[in-house]
Amino acid sequence: MSATPRRGVTNDEIFALRWDRGQRDLIGPLHRLYGGDTLALMDRLRDLLKKHWRARPADLRRLDLVRDLNPDWFLSEDMVAYVFYIDRFAGDLKHLPSRIPYLQELGVTYAHMMPCLKPRPGANDGGYAVMDYTAINPDLGTMADFQQSNLQLRAAGISPVIDMVLNHTAKEHAWAVKARAGDPYYQAFYRMFDDDTLPKQYEKTLVEIFPDQAPGNFTYYDDMGKWVWTTFNEYQWDLNWENPEVFLAVLDTILFLANRGVEVFRLDAVAFMWKQMGTSCQNLPQVHDILQALTQATRVCAPAVIHKAEAIVGPQDLVPYLGTGSHAGRESQLAYHNNLMVQFWSTLASGDSRLMTYVLKTHFPESFRRASFAPYIRCHDDIGWAITPEDTAHIPHMDAKAHRDYLADFYNGTYPGSTARGTDFQVNAETGDRRTNGTFASLAGLEAARTPREVDTAIARMRLGHALIASYGGIPLIYMGDEIGMTNDYSYVDNPDHADDSRWIQRPMMDWDATEHTEGPAARISADLRHIMRTRKATPQFAGTVPTRVLDTGHRALFVYQRLGDDRKVTCVVNFTADTQKLWPEDAALRDVPHVDLLSGQALALSHGQITLAPYQSMWLRPV
């Protein structure tokens, strides 16, 4: 009897198997988006994916295999993210690897390097106006430096993450330059109009993103005699995602960068990608088809890679970015939890958790299929007070507009008794709405603290925030400098490219000296954060696969949620006030079973059936 010769699976077979697996999740969205000859588009897509698969380095193919076998890798409780500007954190890409030990000590496994692709010269919206997606910003280094730094990050167990700006390109991008010169193929990459009839109609239902420095959503260019859709700044031209060529061209750059070691793409400003007359042109259903198609196409060629959606939108609009209905388990794997962020600041100001409990309990599922949030307290952008009348209607005597005004006043420090030091941003003349800028520490009161007690309070508020994002579910994002309590950087006004954008207040240069302190606020905040992250990593119930249930205890000062582990639940209790608070747990499982507070390491002492929390204390209670 002759044995069949054995042979291993070839790379082309692996590709074919992944294509078979992915096709069914690609056809639907592409057909809905582009209609016409979907099969011809699928053929072109397969060729594009195959081109990048063939070019994919062996070490990344190995990572693909590892993650195909463990697709929940990014949901592990071990994951901790750090977000930084390469220049402000490490100088440049050559020096970044020397900071890896610092990241490792913080427990970081995910490094979001803020925009680092080649931006337009001059003002560039913090790098979000890209003129070449295949080149690194020369101030930071070369593509070779980028690849080298990515290799070293990966070797240290840290996933490299970059921004993919896909709602718009810089007007200096080669596509835009050709469009401006009159090339109709590239004009179809953007949204251009011969006169202002349609722009005026669209404007009726659009909101202004930067009403101060970039009013309106369209810009007229004399030289070409056309209006161009420019949602953000004049120099950022919105791409026309109704054109399948745009889909293929953007995917081409994503995969090019994936092959250079990027493991997570933060897809920028995704809410705005599709436009439809008579709507706000945000969060339209087609956006979810585009995101599913991008994610599933990436998964065919580079299954190690995942996508994070940046959609800073209201609660009802946010949830679908993690995949609901037919998109469940197929859309972006991560999304910013900006509603948790807004509710954190709201409850910290008012000391009243009712709105937070209502919003987070009502609008958010307890878990997602193969996806989760990235909770955070601050990022490089402003805080938009996404408090809706529909939600405040459920809280007696609360008015949405009045609450938004209160929060803006509280955090710019003008509200009586407030110790926050932030600034108003993009005051909307029509609605009176204001957004807020400021670092975590300055908004929490550290900048204005004069007495040891005020310093303690600010540090306790920061501890509370960091404990919240570490335990709520998904990957917590630590924003560079927050780990040492960096306060507002007012020097941005001296840089002409930054002066008109007060978001630079929360984008300081890293204070490396402060990381060496052994006492004082920086040392204390850093020690708190390290302890919190170490405890998170030792708590399997904090994995992103474990459901998060918000409990309505009726206690206004406390925000309470549970992580529903298979074996044991962890009950997280947060005192959002400067007073001692008591909770009488109704749940017998909590009342009658011995628990330990994972954060303090203390056995839970119930006195007369009450749990006592110190001002701003968080407890993570788990049965012993």
Name the residues that contact ligand GLC, by CB under 6 A.
Answer: 125-126, 128, 165, 232, 268-269, 310, 380-381
The pair of three-digit structure tokens given for residue 607, joined into one six-digit string: 């006195």
Tell me the closest approach of the beta carbon of residue 162 to ligand GLC, in angstroms.
Answer: 13
Residue with tokens 């790098």: 127
- CB-wise, 48 or 209, nearer to ligand GLC? 209
The pair of three-digit structure tokens given for residue 32, joined into one six-digit string: 């809905």
Q: Quick one: which of 168, 178, 229, 161 has its CA closest to 200?
A: 229
- CB-wise, 267 or 583, nearer to ligand GLC? 267
Query: How far apart are the C-alpha atoms of 556 and 548, rounded to whole Å?
Result: 20
CB atoms within 10 A of CB 397: 6
- CB-wise, 73 or 210, nearer to ligand GLC? 210
- CB-wise, 284 or 606, nearer to ligand GLC? 284
Q: For residues 473-485, b (16+ Cβ closer than 10 Å) or e, as one string?
A: bbbbbbbbbbbbb
CB atoms within 10 A of CB 65: 13
Tell me the closest approach of the beta carbon of residue 165 to ligand GLC, in angstroms.
Answer: 6
Tell me the closest approach of the beta carbon of residue 414 to ligand GLC, in angstroms.
Answer: 26
Query: How far apart are the C-alpha atoms of 318 and 395, rounded to whole Å?
Result: 22
Residue with tokens 């170490």: 534
The pair of three-digit structure tokens given for residue 604, joined into one six-digit string: 């839970």
Q: Which residues share a beta bridge with 569?
A: 564
Q: Quick one: which of 100, 57, 99 has its CA closest to 256?
A: 57
- CB-wise, 45 or 269, nearer to ligand GLC? 269
Tell me the closest approach of the beta carbon of residue 232 to ligand GLC, in angstroms.
Answer: 4
Nearest residue to ligand GLC, by Cβ distance, number only? 128
Tell me the closest approach of the beta carbon of residue 336 to ligand GLC, in angstroms.
Answer: 9
Helix (H) / strand (E) element for 571: namely: strand 569-575
Q: For residues 566-585, b (16+ Cβ closer than 10 Å) or e, as one string?
A: eebbbbbbbbbbeeebebeb
Q: Which residues share a beta bridge with 542?
A: none
- CB-wise, 231 or 367, nearer to ligand GLC? 231
Helix (H) / strand (E) element for 575: namely: strand 569-575
CB atoms within 10 A of CB 94: 14
- CB-wise, 308 or 380, nearer to ligand GLC? 380
Query: How far apart are the C-alpha atoms of 585 and 158, rounded to whole Å?
Result: 40
Non-local (6+) Cβ contacts of 276 within 8 A are: 284
Burial class (CB in 10 A: 0-12, 13-18, 19+), 537: middle
Active site residue 310: yes
Amino acid type, 569? K
Tell me the closest approach of the beta carbon of residue 167 to ligand GLC, in angstroms.
Answer: 7
Q: Quick one: which of 259, 258, 218 has its CA closest to 236?
A: 218
* Catalytic residue (choose from 64, 310, 391, 482): 310
- Listed in order, strand segments (DSSP E) in 66-127 are 81-84, 110-113, 117-119
Query: How far apart are the C-alpha atoms of 310 and 268, rounded to whole Å?
Result: 5
For the chain, how many residues are written?
Answer: 624
- CB-wise, 164 or 407, nearer to ligand GLC? 164
The pair of three-digit structure tokens given for residue 251, joined into one six-digit string: 């995917």
3-state DSSP helix/strand/coil % of the chain, to nearest 5: 40, 15, 40
* Catalytic residue (choose from 25, 125, 238, 268): 268
DSSP 247: H
- Identify the sign of the CA torsion 495, 497, 500, 505: negative
Active site residue 242: no
- CB-wise, 411 or 504, nearer to ligand GLC? 504
Angle at 14 between CA 8 and CA 17, to 5 degrees: 125
Rg (CA), the chain: 25
DSSP 497: T
- CB-wise, 128 or 411, nearer to ligand GLC? 128
Active site positions, annotated: 268, 310
